Amino acid sequence: MGKRVFVGNLPFSATEEQLRELFGQHGEVATAEIVKDKYTERSRGFGFVEMATDEAAAAAISALSGYEMEGRQLTVNEARPRTERRGGGQGGYSGGNRW
């Protein structure tokens, strides 16, 4: 299995196809995803690319960290594992009748 790579400081106009092409220069790209706001569907300025091999991921990180895309320097590093979210959407209020 490959390795997920975090890509930050993306231009808001960047597309997943552009990410796939850029990272494809350094190895086979399994998936490319730009994270979007769930209400507006606009880019949040970061995304993830899964490279087919660990070697391709290392090459892409080395080559593209600091790469300038449309006037913005990309932040490229190994993605941290996803963590379980807590709270279940309760808004931080732990409830109870306080009166």
Residue 51 pLDDT > 60 = yes
Q: Which pTM was predicted?
A: 0.81
What DSSP state is assigned to residue 60? Answer: H
pLDDT digits 0-9 by tens, 13-50? 999 999 999 999 999 999 999 999 999 999 999 999 99
As a whole number, the mean pLDDT across the chain is: 89
- Architecture, CATH, for domain 3-78: 2-Layer Sandwich (3.30)
pLDDT digits 0-9 by tens, 62-98? 999 999 999 999 999 999 987 876 665 555 555 555 5
β-pairing, 43-51 vs 3-8, is antiparallel
Identify which of 98, 96, 60, 97 has the alpha carbon closest to the alpha carbon of residue 78.
60
